Amino acid sequence: MGILDFLSKQFVDVIDWVEEPGQMGWRVPLADREIQNGAQLTVREGQIAVFFNEGRIADMFGPGLYTLDTSTLPLLTAIMNWDKGFKSPFKSDVYFFSEKEQIGLKWGTVQPVTLRDPELGPLRVRAFGSYSFRIHEVAPFASRIMGTLGEVKVADIEPQLRAAIQTALATGVAGGGTAFLDLAASQTALSEALKAAVAPAFAQWGLSVESFFVESLSLPEEVQKHLDKASSMRVLGDLDRYAKFQAAEAIETAAAQSGGVAGIGAGAAAGLAIGQAMTGALGGAASAPTAPAATEDPFALIEKLHKLLDMGALTQAEFDTKKAELLGRIR
């Protein structure tokens, strides 16, 4: 081995990093090699290079091309007590970190979160979504995540991040006292609330949450079936009013089309029959047919005819005729 080959293996004169997808941090593999005074440092867009001395951050470099000497390494120069004319090779730990946003990451509840719903009681809720983050502060990331590792990828810290999200969901949503139906109807507001709840946990590792989305909120199948049944029961409770509404609609239609009280009675009976049919279909048992509205109190029918007169569905002459006919029944 020649002397030049020996020196090329001992001294580093070019330092750069071509990162791969998913890489967040990389330690330059210097081993026992020294950095040549005057070496070229290339920091690409979205990267930051950091020089360490005995585990402490010395000098940091953003995107650009640098010549390494005492002028560009002021902190390391001070720590090492180099004079201005220092030209010798030196040793330092060099790390690169990616400040790019890490996108398209998924999160989800491993186990359902218990939500204390003010209307429905305790519910076991599952949630899923996506998020993105990036390195915001190098110092905590380097000390708490990178350490002395040679490389850190997104996949290495994802389990830790998902655990933080799960905790935020359990404390922020489960203890918030908001009804499940309100949460499901406002996923944008929920996403913002969870992003704020997750942020402190990410910040302790030097990370910032760039985006956070709740894409799905769901209940266990058996609970969802119970809610569907409860909704059906509420509909059944309103069928009586629905039947009366249908009868009133039928009266107005019959009066306009048939022009007679008999038509009004038939229309009312048809309206009531519709309501009874719905009750039978939803409730599982058909009710006994209600007597036609022809037996209804004449004064009540006169009042309804007067409403039709006010609406313009009857002329004054038609109203007077029907009124006289109804009054004739009680004489």
Tell me the β-bridge partners of 251.
none
Q: What is the predicted pLDDT for the residue at 4?
A: 47
Q: Return the pLDDT at 161.
A: 95
Question: What is the spatial distance between Cα 320 and Cα 78, in angstroms, rounded to a whole number?
Answer: 110
> What does pTM read for this prediction?
0.64
∠ CA 262-265-269, nearest 5°, is 140
Distances (CA, A) of 123 to 114, 175, 223: 5, 12, 8
The full set of domains in the chain, from first to last, is 15-98 (no CATH), 102-220 (3.30.479.30), 238-329 (no CATH)
**47-53 and 93-98 as β-strands: parallel, antiparallel, unpaired?**
antiparallel
10-residue averages of pLDDT along the chain (331 residues): 51 92 94 88 96 90 94 89 81 94 93 78 86 96 93 96 90 68 79 92 96 88 69 54 55 58 50 51 46 58 74 74 76 56
Sign of torsion over alpha carbons 231, 233, 235, 238: negative
Q: Enter the tokens of residue 251.
A: 């009266």
Please choose, from the candidates 290, 291, 326, the residue with its C-alpha nearest in 3D space to the C-alpha of residue 305. Answer: 326
What is the rounded distance in angstroms from the CA atom of residue 247 to the CA atom of residue 265?
9
In the numeric block, the tokens 């069928």 are attached to 239
Burial 267-296 (b: 16+ CB within 10 A, else e): bbbbbbbbbbebbeeeeeeeeeeeebbeeb
List of E strands, the chain: 11-15, 23-27, 34-43, 47-53, 56-61, 64-67, 93-98, 102-108, 113-117, 121-135, 151-153, 207-218
CB atoms within 10 A of CB 116: 14
Give the closest residue to 140 by CA, choosing from 95, 205, 88. Answer: 205
Six token digits for residue 249 = 């609609």
